[in-house]
Structure 1
Amino acid sequence: MAIRERAFSIITGVFKMHGAVALDTPVFELRETLMGKYGEDSKLIYDLADQVEEKGLAVETADKIGAFVKKRGPPLEILSELQKQGSQFLENAGFNSFVQVIRATETQVLVAILGKDLTLAAEIVGELWDAKIKAEFGLTKRVMNHINRAKQSGIPWMVIVGESEVSSGVFKLKNIEANQEEEIPREKIVEEIRKRLDII
């Protein structure tokens, strides 16, 4: 068992370093989705609609759970939306205390390539991986697309690299939460990121 856990720990660590996210089986699912998978086998399906009175589940609570299950989109957006609506379900479930710190990924840095230079992206991200920094990259000319991706995934730092940055040899390092940018020489970008992440 110890060997197995160690092996899975190494594999999981490598995947997380590259920005991978674990897939979890949902606790709640739409009834039509489950019916499509399992048919009419009621033993495999716990239907909230049928259990409201029998199990003592309040109608209001069941409705709140149903509304939550029907939501689609990035987890942070869904939780934030429910929080804005003052969802009693979230309060009862204890989510309000944690919704601001939930992250969709463990990625620490998003390398935003303003173009389609995959070679450059691989080079920069490779250096970050070698420095034990969890990083991933994106290829698009629109800066806001990169910023939105970082915000939705909860990625705290972003390295912006466009044609001007490549020609000048100076990259932009952006703190997503503080919405602040600073210029860092290409050769010092990994070192500066390590400092900000407190990686020794």
Structure 2
Amino acid sequence: MPQIIQHTLIHVLLLWTTILSIFQIVFIVLLFTGGHHAPLQFQNKSNAALGGSMPLQADSPTPSNNRPHWGSMITYVGSSVKNTTVSWKVKTTGSGLISEEGCNLTIKRDGYFFLTLQVTLSSCEEKKQMVKLKLKEKIILQGTINTNTCSTGLLGKVQGLSAGGELMVTIDPPSTSIVADEYLTHLDVIYMGTP
């Protein structure tokens, strides 16, 4: 008789643990997704089905107002080296986030930026060469050229940047040329906005 009661209690505890686990998973998913809703067209259908007369509007800005939104991405390809500074040409634009002025890239909006950088030289020497991504004189990313691959590999970081800041990539000691290929020498910037 006590075994029947124990088995019943074990089943009740297993059911209770399962229910709590499901609630925890749902809570964690909502926490990390910020409670985002379904796509706009689904929201409009749901709103109409509920008797609502006003359609829901998207929170993101329209492309016509030329404001960058979360997730805007810009890709730069290295084109040449002038003295110690890498010169970039834009491959994809980012709605006025950054302007190119010579070798400097000027930030146009405050926010958090995810930056990735890779520099590959056409030939490398035995001496240690450093590649630095700087904001004015502050080093944001730094890597050493690997003498086997003549590349820094992929460097990345999230950085808060203010409008007016200037990014530049330098090679020290100077190199004569870089590989101007988007897969080997590139600077990628993803704008993540401000909280």
Please say whether Structure 1 and Structure 2 have the same fold, judged by a TM-score greater than 0.5: no
Q: Which has the higher helix share?
A: 1
Larger radius of gyration: 2
TM-score after normalising by structure 1: 0.25
TM-score after normalising by structure 2: 0.25
Question: Quick one: higher RCO (CA 8 Å, sep 6+), 1 or 2?
Answer: 2
Q: Which has the higher strand share?
A: 2
